[in-house]
Structure 1
Amino acid sequence: MSNPAAFRDQSNWLGGFYELAIEVGSTEDASIQAVLSALWSAAEVRGAFASTDREPEDQEPVPCTVASLTAYGHLHGRVRLPNGHLAVCGAVAIRGGDDSSDWLDFYVPAGALDKAGVPYWDGRPFHRSAVLDDWLAGVGTATFERAPFSLGVIGWEVSGCTDAATLAGRLPQERGIGYLLPQEEGLLYGAADD
């Protein structure tokens, strides 16, 4: 098996993303920074780097900040997957502008998941992994404890598939993705169930 943690192996970054997409609930830099810092810590991401064409050992780390996301587009690091393998990962911010919320997407690319031996597709017409979903739900829950947010969605390229205003505090009855929905009593995890 080739190394799913190798930055320079561009096949690690291919194939789409399994992600935790977080609707921050604000467009203020301080809010997205709080979520970014909490998420990086909760996932225990190793490093923050601008480039995928050099290994982390061969480049200077960049600050894990909104300014770095703005300057470089993505932040990249390494994360320990639920099966124990170290793999490449990343984050990107989708800035909403004045009339909507910012989003922060934390992702592990399919190429790295393949090499790490983490299944995320069982032949159905969509990708799904209960193991990855539960792991990302744990990351999201730990993030929320330090930096509350409006909504988290978990699954295959889920960013932008819904928003907190559309859900209006209620989980869908049938869920093709996972949801982290703030409630008065805390964060509710609604696992994918269809």
Structure 2
Amino acid sequence: MTSPAGFRDQTNWSDGYYELAIEVGSSDDAQIQAVLSALWSAADVHGCFGRRDREPEEQGPVPCTVGSLTEFGHVYGQVRLPTGQLVVCGCVAIRGGDEGSDWLDFYVPVGALDQAGIAYWDGRPVFRSDVLDEWLAAIGAETFQSASFSMGVIGFEVSGCTDASTLAGKLPQTRDIGYLLPQGDYLLYGAANS
């Protein structure tokens, strides 16, 4: 039997990503590092590795840094879902350059969710999991307490689907995805409702 926490099992990394995508609001490496460190800690990720074709015990850990993201493209670990299952996870930085702000995407691949038996469709017209949404929202809220950011979105491959300037601090009334919007010192969570 395969494990949803196995790095070598490439089916764990298949079919896209369920993610918490955070618009950092800056392209400053120090701010991106602050959000990355807070996010990794809030999610309680086990390990930080630069390769997904070797099991964690077959490779040395890498620092959980912007430098590692630059060098490897992604960093990988294992995280415990709210159901108790340990699964593979990762994070990637999407740098906006002169065009806009940078994003950090923390994700669990759908292949691993399938192997963990997570129901994420429930017959809805939109690919979604209420259990994962609430869990990722809590991770986002804890991250925000340590390192502020412009906004976050939660769902299936949601990075860049909108941005803080477009939303202007207001939640859409009808939401196919979850939103995390700063309101001063606290983070407003608008769950998907459609």
Q: Indicate the residue corresponding to 2:19 in structure 1.
A: 19
Q: CA deviation at 1:185?
A: 5.0
Mind listing any 5+ residue stretches in structure 1 that lack a counterpart? none
Q: Indicate the residue corresponding to 2:169 in structure 1.
A: 169
- In the alignment, the residues of structure 2 paired with residue 159 and residue 20 of structure 1 have an alpha-carbon distance, to the nearest angstrom, of 8
What SS is found at the alignment partner of 2:113?
helix
Range moving further from structure 2, 83-92 or 116-125: 116-125
Q: Indicate the residue corresponding to 1:4 in structure 2.
A: 4
What SS is found at the alignment partner of 2:98?
coil
| Aligned 1:118-137 pairs, distance under 5 A | 118-137=118-137
- In the alignment, the residues of structure 2 paired with residue 115 and residue 150 of structure 1 have an alpha-carbon distance, to the nearest angstrom, of 33
- TM-score w.r.t. the length of structure 1 is 0.98
| Aligned 1:101-120 pairs, distance under 5 A | 101-120=101-120
Q: Tell me how many residue pairs correspond in the alignment.
A: 194
Q: Indicate the residue corresponding to 2:31 in structure 1.
A: 31
- In the alignment, the residues of structure 2 paired with residue 185 and residue 29 of structure 1 have an alpha-carbon distance, to the nearest angstrom, of 22
- In the alignment, the residues of structure 2 paired with residue 147 and residue 189 of structure 1 have an alpha-carbon distance, to the nearest angstrom, of 17
Residue identity matched to 1:9: D
- TM-score w.r.t. the length of structure 2 is 0.98
Alignment RMSD (CA, Å): 0.9
Q: CA deviation at 1:99?
A: 3.9
- In the alignment, the residues of structure 2 paired with residue 157 and residue 120 of structure 1 have an alpha-carbon distance, to the nearest angstrom, of 13
Sequence identity (%): 71
**Structure 1 runs, 4 residues or longer, greater than 3 Å off:** none
Matched, 1:193 2:193: yes
Q: Indicate the residue corresponding to 2:152 in structure 1.
A: 152
Q: Indicate the residue corresponding to 1:52 in structure 2.
A: 52
- In the alignment, the residues of structure 2 paired with residue 185 and residue 77 of structure 1 have an alpha-carbon distance, to the nearest angstrom, of 30
